[in-house]
Structure 1
Amino acid sequence: MSKDPTPSQVVAGQQSGKPESRTSLARTLGRSTATLMTASMIIGTGIFGALGSATAKAGSGILISMTLGGLIALATGISAAQLGVNYPKEGGAFTWSREFNHKTVGFIAGCAYLGKGIFSLSVISLAFASYSVQIIPGLPIQLFAGAVILAVMVLNFFHVQLTTKVLITLMALNVSLLGLFVAFSTPAISPSHFSNPLGDNGLFGVLAGAAIFFWTWDGFMRTAIMAGEIKNPRRTIPIAIIGGIGVAAVVFLAVAATTLGVLGPESMGRDDVPLFRAATQAVGTWGGLVILAAAWTASLSELVGDLLTASRVAYTMGEANELPGWLGSIHPKFRIPRNAVLTLGLIVLVLALSFDLRKLLAVASIFTLTWYIITHFSALQLRKEQRLTTPLFSWLGLIGCLLLVASLPTWATLSGIVVLATLAGFRLLWFRYGVRKFAGRVGHGGRMPKEA
């Protein structure tokens, strides 16, 4: 009896000119779409939610903090691009580590990304609801957050082309609204607020601010994570990552500089909604409404993008039998990992209805940085003929990520290490005592999966 090809085999077939299987993800995203999608996934709620707390650490050095974080993101993006063009499959650092036979490291990378995705989705949905309360007083925050998550789940059930069109549309609206804020607030800028470029806390403050703001840059790797859905990945992925980071950097620095110029570092660092405060002070009530609308669209865009890519990592881990096998199935019509979307969406829904997770953003940053560190580690394993550029970028990115980890609160770092170490321990038990085989039978309808 013939066996259906796995998604990995289908990807290999696509590289050799064989037709796609209906059990694989479809390659539908070209260069322009992928670049705009990358930018839309970066320009999210971080600029609204993290700018105040990052400025509290960096002071007037916040612009240098953001630039430093952007350079580390760019170095990480270059590492991801090199890996993505050589191994154009779903899963990102999880898949790349396994290509070099570092399966436990890959498992840790996958768990780190899923942990980051779950926490971030919960927090963003609550932030989305909190912004909405500013317009609709009395709105039940957690129930509304749950309704938003359900809507995002439904959107992710359909073709990836529809999802990316929604993302790009939301980004265009968000950037337009932020452009209005910058244009109309510029006359209220005070040059004296830029007189101390490093801030009162010096280099250590700049590093701490970069670490807090860094999760805002998250999104640039998602084109590489979704490599199995990219047309001509060798050309498209590098262009999309570098172009997406460039677009986001222009938006971030323009918005942050305007906010700093209007409020000053002290007022900006004390406020959880500095953009709203700056717009209201510089323009008036309608300026605040513009920022609320921008925050609303950014939250929705980030929710859609986070679930889109987190589900692809869960799908790949399920297909590799590192998670229950039914997560690795593809819907035959829409060609998306619907089981992974549904499972992650329900977990996020429960968390959003039960907890206030905003204090756990530092833990989400640890998960994100762990994912990036493993990406650099994998990129350094590439052979010379596989590289697109010098390994110096990977070394610089790795060192930068480690510096940011050291700049985060100790409790957050220890929490992330304990969680990932515990999951790695469970993985060893999973393999040693046959639990994995039982889960494999359940996930594959009684058929034994191949050894990972």
Structure 2
Amino acid sequence: MGEKTEGNLKREIGILSVVTNVLSISIGSGIFLLPALVFVILGNGSILAYIFCGLIFIALGLCFAEVSSRISDTGGMYVYVERAFGPLAGFLSNILYLFGVGVLACAALLNAMADIASTSFPIFQESWARVLFFSVILGVISLLSIRGIKDSMIFVKLLTFTKVLAILALVIFGLSAINMDNISWKGFPEFSKIGEATLLLIFAFLGGELALSIGGEMKNPKRTAPIGFVIGIFGVVLIFCLIHLSVQGVLGQALIENQEAPLAELAKKLAGNTGFLLILIVSFIAVWSTFSSIFLLKNRILYAGAVDGILPKVFAKLHPKYGTPALAILFLAILELVIASTGSFKYLLILVTAASILIYIGVILAFFKFRIGEKNPGPEVFKVKGGSIIGIFVLIALIWVFSRLQWTEIQGVFISLGILIILYYILNYFKTTIKKEIV
């Protein structure tokens, strides 16, 4: 299976960095709300939705891990789909993931950070202050990204492990104060209810796969990518389950009355107003960590598309000193600032989830194609035992999740795909015409 060279990107990323990015992206702002939202649907049996959703994502993680050990180029989900199904599929997955997921998600996270800050500093409710705030945050992460993946990951690791350790400390105190009556239940909840709660949870799990987009900068990527990603997914599932058990175990029915900030309410019950303030700070760090990881990683998707020739080649140029795609980084930083400042992204956020699921389905189909086309892979391939059964389970689960979206949302996704297909052929026509004129 051919892999493309990628200039002089430096291979500086190890397993710990991959694990860090998975934890950083997946454990974001959503976890501060989820325990209450899931409890409203399932009551005391809420942990079942976490287990079911966890099984889906662990199975998904194993499939992604095998594909990542076969394709170690920069680009992650995009490059897996492109190598399996060609340039049109690659163009669709690149644009959907880069703009439909990465850019909109970062814009949402920037505004979430400003909203959290405004609870203590009302000035961040002012438009000019928010734009200034966005500029500073984007300036810092852009500078780190241009200087290199190694410097950027030091910053991301600091934010990520700060939030993980703080959340785990809260969980430990919470687990020690659990009331068993709050987490026990009689009978099995309706499957439709479990499905409804699982759909909600899947939206929160999305994003960790971005950690695979820097394959071209990993040390020994055929080992680093699959091992780091699988460990990260297991860590996310475990942490989510522990958080929910501690919140539900302490608050019980009070969760229904505290749907806006269940973790903050838990901290307040355990440590008073000081605990409430600390969890507010941790939530800011959590969102900052998620934003930093996504921003750092999505630049590589733009770069990979430029290397493959489906996007302007200018974004494939590397900084002469640092060997990083500086133009791609600066372009996305400016675009991010514009979208975050207008706030128009709020009406398109549903496309983030829908686009992610479609790309996941594309990668699972690539997983099957690579398995069928390469009967005897080398020993370096991370071959999942029972992979075909696992892949079928994941594919059915993803199609089911996608079908749970509102019809208008599904229509919006397919209209977007139609527009992108037309755009691809228009660009391809002009590209071919220019080449003929030059010849």
Q: TM exceeds 0.5?
A: yes
Q: Which residue of structure 2 aligns with residue 104 of structure 1? A: 88
- In structure 1, what residue type is equivalent to 2:76? G
Q: Tell me what 1:16 maps to.
A: none
**2:16 counterpart of 1:25:** no
What is residue 376 of structure 2 aligned with on the other side?
Answer: 385
CA contact (8 A) 1:268 1:274 kept: no
Is contact 2:36–2:256 with CA below 8 Å preserved after alignment? yes
Q: Which amino acid letter does the alignment assign opposite residue 127 of structure 1? A: A
The residue aligned with 1:262 is 250
CA distance in 2, matches of 1:314, 1:26: 17
2:300 and 2:84 map into 1 onto residues whose CA distance is 20
- 1:194-221 per-residue CA deviation (whole Å, 9 max, x = no partner) reads 2338886x22222222222223223432
> Where do 1:30-429 residues align within 5 Å?
30-114=14-98, 115-140=100-125, 142-143=130-131, 144-186=133-175, 188-196=177-185, 202-264=190-252, 267-268=255-256, 271-355=259-343, 357-358=345-346, 360-382=348-370, 383-386=374-377, 388-389=383-384, 390-429=387-426
1:266 is displaced (CA, Å) by: 7.0
How far did residue 89 of structure 1 move? 0.1
In structure 1, distance between residues paired with 2:423 and 2:21: 36
Q: What displacement does 1:268 show? A: 4.5
User: What displacement does 1:170 show?
Assistant: 1.2
Distance 1:167 1:103 in 2: 33
Paired with 1:205 and 1:266, the residues of 2 have a C-alpha distance of 20
Alpha carbons of structure 1 residues 9 and 266: separation in structure 2 relative to 1, 3 Å: same
Question: Deviation of residue 9 (structure 1)?
Answer: 4.4
User: For 1:321 and 1:102, how far apart are their aligned partners in 2?
Assistant: 12
Is the partner of 2:185 in helix, strand or coil? coil
Displacement after TM superposition at 1:178 (Å): 0.9
What is the aligned partner in structure 2 of residue 14 from structure 1? Answer: none
C-alpha deviations, 1:372-422, integer Å up to 9, x for none?
111101111112323612222222221111121122333333322222221
Task: Tell me whether 1:434 sits opposite 2:425 in the alignment.
Answer: no
Q: Would the aligned equivalents of 1:331 and 1:337 in 2 still touch at CA under 8 Å?
A: yes
Unpaired runs of 5+ residues, structure 1, are 1-6, 12-22
Amino acid in structure 2 at the alignment position of 1:118 = V
State the alpha-carbon separation in 2 of the partners of residues 221 and 412 from structure 1: 23
- 1 CA distance for matches of 2:57 and 2:78? 18
Question: How much is the aligned-residue C-alpha RMSD, in angstroms?
Answer: 2.8
Give, in angstroms, the shift of residue 435 of structure 1.
5.2
TM-score when normalising by structure 2: 0.87
Gaps of 5+ in 2: none
Percent identical: 21
Distance 1:377 1:139, change over 3 A: same
Distance 1:54 1:313, change over 3 A: farther
Task: Please give the secondary structure, in 1, of the residue aligned with 2:391.
Answer: helix
Match 1:10 to one of 5, 9, 14: 5
CA deviation after TM superposition for structure 1 residue 436, in Å: 7.1
Give the 3 Å change call, closer, same or farther, for CA 165–198 of structure 1 in structure 2. Answer: farther
Three-state SS of the structure 1 residue aligned to 2:284 is helix
- Residues 292-314 of structure 1 show CA distances to partners (whole Å, capped at 9, x for unaligned) of 12111111111111011211111
Post-superposition CA distance 1:125-167 (Å, at most 9, x none)? 1111111122323323633344323333233222101111111
Matched-pair contact (CA < 8 Å) for 1:93–1:371: yes
Given residue 124 of structure 2, which amino acid in structure 1 is its aligned partner?
L
1:10 is paired with a residue whose SS is coil
When residues 351 and 288 of structure 1 are mapped into structure 2, their CA distance, relative to the original with a 3 A threshold, is: same
Q: TM-score, normalised by structure 1?
A: 0.85
Q: 1:228–1:283: structure 2 CA closer, same or farther, 3 Å change rule? A: same
Determine helix, strand or coil for the equivalent of 2:5: helix
